Amino acid sequence: MNSYLLWIPLLPLLGFLLNGLGRNHLSKNATATIGAGMVFLSFVLSGFAFGQMLALSHADPGANHTQVFYPFDLLRIPAFTIPFALRVDHLTVLFLLIITGIGFLIHLYSAAYMKEETPPHFARFFAYLNLFVFSMLVLVMGDNFVIMFFGWEGVGLCSYLLIGFWFKNTAYNAAAKKAFVMNRIGDLGFLLAIFWLLMKLGSVNYGDVFGQLGTQLTPTDITAVTLLLFVGAMGKSAQIPLYTWLPDAMAGPTPVSALIHAATMVTAGIYMIARSNVLYSLAPLTQTIVAITGLATALFAATIALRQNDIKKVLAYSTVSQLGYMFLGLGVGAYTGAVFHVMTHAFFKALLFLGAGSVIHAMHHEQDILKMGNLRKYMPITHITFLLACLAIAGIPPFSGFFSKDEILVAAYLANPLYYYLGVAGALMTAFYMFRLYSLTFRGDFRGTKEQAHHLHESPVPMTIPLVVLAILSVVGGFIGIPAVFAADAHWLEHFLAPVFRRGAAHVSEGAHHLSHSQELIMMGVVTLLILLVIVFSVRKYSTYTAGEENPSGLARVLYNKWYVDELYQSLFVQPLHQLGGFFKNFTEPKIIDGAVNGIGKLVSYGSRQIRLVQSGQVGSYLLIMILAIVVFFLVWFNDLHLQRFFQKYF
Amino acid sequence: MDPEKQQMIAVLLMALPLAGGLLAFALPQGKAAKNLSWVVAGLVLALAATLCLQPGTTQFQASWLPALGAQFSLELNGLSKILVLLTALAFPLVLGSTPNPSHQPGAYQALMLLTQAGLMGVFMASDALLFYFCWELALIPVYFLCSIWGGEKRIAVTFKFFIYTFVGSLLLLVGILYVYFQQAQPSFSWQAFHAVSLSAKEQAMVFWLFFLAFAIKMPIFPLHTWQPDAYEQSPTGVTMILSGVMVKMGLYAVIRWLLPLFPEASHQFASLIAWTAVAGMLYASLIAIRQDDFKRLIAYSSIAHIGLMAAGLFVHQAVALQGVVLQLFAHGINVIGLWIMADRVERQLGTRQLSALGGLAQKAPTMAIFLVVLSLANIALPLTNAFVGEFLMFNGLFRYNMWMAAVGGISIILAAVYTLNMVQKIIFGQTNALTESAQDLDAPQALLLAILVAVILLTGVYPQPLIQLTQDTVQTLFAQR
Amino acid sequence: MPIQYYIYFCLALFSLGIIGVLTRRNAIIVFMCIELMLNAVNLLLVAFSKMHHAAALQAAPQTTAGIEGQLFVFFIMVVAAAEVSVGLAIIVMMYRNTHSIDINFLNRLKN
């Protein structure tokens, strides 16, 4: 591995150390320069790596150009060795670009967004962000599952720290804690998968694991390992049943939501499964479960998003829903499609969040879309970029979301037409709620206070540059994956990722049937038409919205309350465990265990109080007892043989 | 280094604190006693570090009570070394973080030094009588330390602590004597004990005599109730030694004196003990979630961690054993760090109640950072020292029985819950009237904690030196069972 | 004289001692009864020793076997003397404090 690749993760780490240790001494400008600069340098290096990889692929198409860097052993014991090894291959390099690229834009944006913070807190924010970028890079660059786990926990930690960034607010802290604990549930699955692999293979290196299939891993092993890994992915990527932390995580500053809870960290689960595609392709049961979970999450989260009024909550549920699509793609073997959607989603969802941040910034931390409206008049750049992102996520051609979502849906159709129909239903809901959000925010009349209206303004340049860049990417990002139906062999991404997914895809495509081009075109056309209809309906309905019109009842009320899932978890898991803990603390400990210990003590002291009565102080009785004791002693002495015989007989 | 020097160092490790302790009784001034403690602790740390850099095993033998077949014999293998290092490291940390008591400081320092001598002896002895002698030498000063310098309920708590541990010690003595008298030429040496062959029934009986003594000391569920009380009521310096080093006596003794001596019995009862330990882990974690007292929370968290180590010992997997050995060290460091925090909060703000605290991150940012790092080590996040140990232990549990790893794994979720609860209640949120007056760490305290955190992170990122130190011993001991 | 006479005599003496110890409340009499028992034992020891030694002499003229019993008597007498001196001292102190030598007074020591 070229040594410069090592600097890709090291630079953000350096930024973390500089900002973290110098937080009391650095000015805001210096902090922002260090924070954003390190990530930018990292991005440049990633660009180099990408270019190199591209050149190599060009020279020798389809070959594996993995580079591994192996400085030392993390853990070396007789049973196994876990090297500290980093790798760069086709999949990694793509993620490197997404993470550092979007990371840099969001750092830039944050420099303006977080201006109100005092220098130490400003530095703390950038330190956390840099640490996050470092952890995420470690996650995708790791050459074995343990290094991936290191990054995995690192991003979880940063997510915890950043959600609770405004630590004075107890609710934010609770949200941070919830995110961490729910992720830990998933982590347990991940760890167990690692243990399973170590037990069976004595190694968790990707090369060893994916290379020894069939010889040392039985189908049961593969199914179990993939399921356990999927539990980890469920936690990190917010899938049913572990998704509830993500909407709460919106407590963090908006750039954090954009970077961590939309563009990068939550896609770690997709990365993990895509990385292990070889295993998943051999476990049809797991694949079905992944697909069904993904689809269920996509639909479930979309229904909730229909009725949310917090701008960030809508986007959060939308993220959960889109992640569901990615898992659907993984479940039906469309690994390239899933990664493609990760990428396009990173563009448009980061854009949506940053746009939302821009709106929130202008509205002075008002997040209720019912109190917005007509912002297009005041914030033209935010408006246009937000609209483009909405079109992209809704899946209107030729915006990026169309291509990636279409690829997943086509693959789903091939696996099971029902997946396709439900997926399309989800896509329609997506279009509906996104344009509800758009209309309520940017169209109609302004419904906020006079004071807010007075202060409305377009955001400063450092905030709008990322919006514009991401908008361009959201529009054109899809062209790297043009399906065969439009132009043969134009799917650049598939060719690029082929070395990573070839083996996994080979297992899937056996016996899979293909759609004819005309059928595929008809399906696309119908879906696009439906989506357009929904958009028109939604825009017309909500552009004329006036305050107080919505009074949720019936199903709408259930959706507004997110299907009461939080309440359900609270009463099913949190409360019982809490009460059990209380029972142990207040009853078992003092009454049973201490009771037994103290009981023995009391018995002894009671017994001695009774025996004390024998000591009457009467010398005569002492003498009598003495003499009787001597007599008994003599009797025993002279009859010991009889006694022994007696004891032997009965004991 | 030649063997004679190593032997001399081994003897000095025990003799220095012993002599220092006896001398400190005679010192009239508290300041002088504390300086003496510093000198002794510093020398011991330097010697221990020197010794740990030497490869191989150091042995020393001298005649002690020849008539009884007892010898003053020390054996420092890798396992002993890592614990000797922990002990040597713990005492300067304690000295640096706790003030001299106003009442009879000389006696306090003297008793602490005697405890250190006892601990060193326990970790080095390879003669059962010497081991028992040092076991008591470590414990008895603690009774006095708790009952003289402890909190309000110190007498009752010390009594409970005394009863628990003394019952344990007596059982241990009976067990030792039983094995002793099974020999034709009675001897207390480890080798002689190892050579004794007992019938299955005798082995089971002696196993339980030994095990109960060690289990009380660890302590594992359900023999643990002395611990939260003792930790809460002891002076914090003593609590640090108790939880940082002394509970490791029980675990060390299991590895050194129980598993190799009674292999059949320890296999026979492995499943029972491991499952009990796992249940105790969850039990203690659930209680920790409900604790509102900083010190008791740490105590229950510690019980949960010890439960995992106990389970790791009895699943009979080399991986888990290696994990336990690493965790002995890691847990000692981490828990001492947490006690330093608890002590600081209590001394500055006069309360240990979590619900009365809050907002310290605004008033004491440096302290908040250290507390967060220590908490992360407590939940065994990767790149902290505890991760390596827990990873290996859970790995061993998984190899033994995957359901045990899964059930035990729930505790890592619960650990996150109670630790983050604690962090949230102490440093996050708004300040209140009480915490408004809080001060940040001063430079010496910050330096002390920085050293601690550096150890945590270094051994977390690169644990290989510690593994190499202990690996051979682990393999040897594992082969002996 | 046949050994039986000694045995019966000593038995009687010892029983008298026991009865005296158990029934009398005067500390001095109790004390003397204890002496009575001791001396009963002493006498028996001497008697057995003499008999044993006489029997042993017939087997081997130069032997000293059997004289240990008489040595024991001296020990007992020394111990008894010590005991008497301590005991009498206690009784004297007792009398000085309570103007009584009733042993039932001693139950006051309990508290």
Cβ <8 Å between C22 and A618: no
CB B253 within 8 A of CB B138: no
Give the separation between CA A290 and CA A226, rounded to whole angstroms. Answer: 10
* Residue range A575-588: mean pLDDT, rounded: 87
Q: Which of A167, A577, A581 sits opposite B428 (nearest CB)?
A: A167
Residues of C in contact with A620 (CB under 8 A): 22, 25, 103-104
Residue of B413, B427, B471 to mutate for A, most A C-beta atoms under 10 A: B413
Cβ of A617 within 8 Å of Cβ of C22? The answer is no
Q: Tell if the CB–CB gap between A77 and B405 is shorter than 8 Å.
A: no
- Residue B307 and residue B281: Cα distance in Å, rounded? 5
Q: What is the pTM of this model?
A: 0.86
Looking at the fold, whether A273 and A419 belong to one and the same domain comes out as yes
For B475, the closest of A78, A176, A199 (CB atoms) is A78
Q: A60 with A183, same domain?
A: no
For the cut 70, the answer to whether the pLDDT of residue B236 exceeds it is: yes
Model confidence over A8-48: pLDDT tens digits?
889 999 999 998 888 888 888 888 899 899 999 999 999 98
- Would you kindly state where each structural domain of chain C is located, as residue ranges? 3-110
Considering only CB atoms, A623 lies closest to which of C22, C109, C110, namely: C22
- Tell me the nearest-neighbour CA distance from C3 into chain A, angstroms: 22
Q: How confident is the model at residue B159 (pLDDT cuts 50, 70, 90)?
A: confident
Domain range for A286 is: 144-560
Express each pLDDT in B434-443 by its tens digit. 878 888 888 8
Are both A539 and A599 inside the same structural domain?
Answer: no
A77: chain B residues, CB-CB within 8 Å = 318-319, 322, 392, 467, 471
Are the CB atoms for A457 and A362 separated by under 8 Å? yes
Task: Report yes or no on A600 lying in a domain.
Answer: yes
Asked whether the predicted pLDDT for residue B51 surpasses 90, the reply is: no
A133 and A265 assigned to the same domain: no
How confident is the model at residue B285, as a pLDDT? 92
Residues A621 and A607 in one domain: no
* pLDDT at B317 > cutoff 60: yes
Of A114-118, A349-353, B185-189, the range with the highest mean pLDDT is A349-353
Tally of CA atoms within 13 A in the half-sphere of B205 that contains its CB? 11
- Chains near B (3 or more Cβ pairs under 8 Å): A
Residue in A153, A167, A589 nearest the CB of B361: A167
Q: Give the CA distances from residue A337 to residues A159, A488, A612, B59, C28, in Å, rounded to whole numbers and listed in that order.
A: 27, 17, 87, 65, 113
Show the tokens assigned to A181: 């604990």
The length of chain B in residues reads 481
Nearest CA in chain C to A623: C22
Longest CA–CA separation in chain B, Å: 72
Under DSSP, the state recorded for C111 is -
Average model confidence (pLDDT) for chain A?
A: 86
Reply yes or no on whether the pLDDT at B356 is more than 80: yes
Which of A143, A164, A188 is the last residue in one of the domains?
Answer: A143
Q: Does residue A512 have a pLDDT over 60? A: no
Q: Could you count the other beta carbons within 10 Å of the beta carbon of residue A253?
A: 22
Closest partner CB to B416 (pick from A150, A167, A181): A181
Does pLDDT of A510 surpass 50? no
3-state secondary structure A288-326: HHHHHHHHHHHHHHHHHHCCCCEHHHHHHHHHHHHHHHH
Name the minimum distance, in Å, from the CA of A170 to any CA of chain B. Answer: 5
d(CA A200, CA A233): 22
- HEC sequence for A185-252: HHHHHHHHHHHHHHHHHCCCEHHHHHHCECCCECHHHHHHHHHHHHHHHHHHCCCCCCCCHHHHHHHC
Does A593 contact chain B (CB < 8 Å)?
yes
Read off the tokens for B268.
């026979």
| A619 contacts C103? CB cut-off 8 A | yes
pLDDT digits (tens, 9 = 90+) for B357-368: 888 888 888 888
| Whether A244 contacts A182, CB under 8 Å | yes
Closest-approach residue (CA) in chain A for C25: A620
Contact A196 B402 (CB under 8 A): yes
Average pLDDT estimate for B393-399: 91
Query: Is there a single domain that holds both residue A633 and residue A585?
Result: no
Do A224 and A94 reside in the same domain of the chain? Answer: no
Read off the pLDDT of each residue in B141-163 and give the average, rounded to a whole number.
86
Percentage of residues of chain A with pLDDT beyond 90: 25
Residue B396, pLDDT > 80, answer yes
Mutate one of C15, C21, C37 to test the A interface: name it (highest A CB count within 10 A).
C21
The Cα B183–Cα B177 span in angstroms is 10
A279 inside domain: yes
Our CA dihedral for B89, B95, B98, B102, rounded to 10 degrees, sits at 150
Is the CB of B462 less than 8 angstroms away from the CB of A72?
Answer: yes
Return the higher-pLDDT residue of A335 and A498: A335
Compute the radius of gyration of chain C from its Cα atoms.
Answer: 19
Contact A195 B395 (CB under 8 A): yes
Residues ≥6 apart with Cβ < 8 Å to A522 = none
Closest Cβ–Cβ partner in A75, A169, A594 for B225: A594
Residue percentage of chain A with pLDDT more than 70: 96
Please write down the long-range contacts of B193-198, taking CB distance under 8 Å and 24 or more positions apart: B193/B128, B193/B261, B194/B260, B194/B261, B194/B480, B198/B262
Q: What is the 3-state secondary structure (H, E, C) of A551-585?
A: CCCCHHHHHHCHHHHHHHHHHHHHHHHHHHHHHHH
- φ/ψ of A519, rounded to 5, equals -60, -45
**Is a pLDDT exceeding 50 seen at residue A336?**
yes
Does A624 sit within 8 Å of C103, measured CB to CB? no
pLDDT, one tens digit per residue, over B406-435 is: 999 999 999 999 999 999 888 888 888 887
Q: Across the interface, do B417 and A160 touch by the CB < 8 Å criterion? A: no
Q: Count of CB contacts below 8 A, A vs C?
A: 24
Which pLDDT score, from 0 to 100, does residue A547 have? 66
Check whether residue A12 and residue A103 sit in a common domain: yes
A616–C109 CB contact, under 8 Å: no
How are the residues of chain C apportioned to helix, strand and coil, as percentages rounded to the nearest 5?
Answer: 85, 0, 15
Least confident of A482-486, B56-60, B130-134: A482-486
Q: Over pLDDT 90: what percentage of chain B? A: 37
For residue A550, is pLDDT > 90?
Answer: no
If asked whether residues A454 and A415 sit together in one domain, one would say yes
Residue B285 to residue B419: CA distance in whole angstroms: 10
Whether A550 and A579 map to the same domain: the answer is no
The per-residue pLDDT for B44 is: 92
- pLDDT value of position A42: 92
Q: Which of B43, B113, B133, B78 has its CA nearest to residue B329?
A: B78
Taking CB atoms and an 8 Å cut-off, how many pairs form between chains A and B? 128
Alpha carbon distance A12, A131 (integer Å): 7
Say how many CA atoms lie within 13 Å of A312 toward its Cβ: 25
Grade residue A513 by pLDDT with cuts at 50, 70 and 90. Answer: low
Residue A182: pLDDT above 50?
yes
Question: Considering only CB atoms, which chain A residues are within 8 Å of B362?
Answer: 168
pLDDT at B481: 66
Question: Do chain C and A touch: 3 or more Cβ pairs under 8 angstroms?
Answer: yes
Q: Return d(Cα A224, Cα A289) in angstroms, integer.
A: 12
Look at chain A and report how many structural domains it folds into: 4
Chain C residues touching residue A627 (CB < 8 angstroms): 18, 21-22
C103 to chain A: closest CA residue: A619
**Which of the residues B165, B287, B372 would you substitute to probe the A interface, choosing the one with the greatest number of A C-beta atoms within 10 Å?**
B287
What's the pLDDT score for residue B25? 85
From A72, A164, A199, residue closest to B428, measured CB to CB = A164
- Confidence at residue A508, expressed as pLDDT on a 0 to 100 scale: 52
In this structure, the answer to whether residues A149 and A104 fall within a common structural domain is: no
What is the per-residue pLDDT across C26-64, written as a single tens digit (0 to 9) for each? 888 988 999 999 999 999 999 999 888 888 888 888 888
What is the C-alpha to C-alpha distance for residues B143 and B149, in angstroms, rounded to an integer?
10
CATH of C3-110, one of 3.40.50.970, 2.30.30.830, 1.10.3720.10, 1.10.287.3510: 1.10.287.3510
Rounded alpha-carbon distances, angstroms, from residue A463 to A42, A382, A438, C13: 21, 9, 19, 119
Q: What is the pLDDT, as a whole number, of residue A511?
A: 45
Residue A71 C-alpha, separation from nearest chain B C-alpha, in angstroms: 12
Residue A567 lies in a domain: no
User: Which among B163, B287, B376 has the least Cβ separation from residue A601?
Assistant: B163
Alpha-carbon gap: B324 to the closest alpha carbon of chain A (Å): 13
H-helix or E-strand spanning residue A84: strand A80-88
Report whether pLDDT(A484) > 80.
Answer: no
Q: Find chain A residues with C-beta within 8 A of C18's C-beta.
A: 627
Chain B neighbors of A578, CB-CB under 8 A: 289-290
CA distance to partner chain B, nearest, from residue A550 (Å):
35
Q: Please, which residues bridge with residue A83 across strands?
A: A73
Residue pLDDT, tens place only, B466-479: 888 888 888 888 88
The residues that bridge with C102 in the sheet, in sequence order, are C26
Which tens digits make up the pLDDT trace of A151-177? 999 999 999 999 988 888 888 888 999
Tokens of B88: 């040597």
Mean pLDDT of A207-211: 82
Mean pLDDT confidence for B17-38: 86
B-facing residues of A in 159-188 (CB < 8 A) are 160, 164, 167-170, 173-174, 176-177, 180-181, 184-185, 187-188
Give me the half-sphere count of Cα atoms (radius 13 Å) on the Cβ side of residue A178.
24
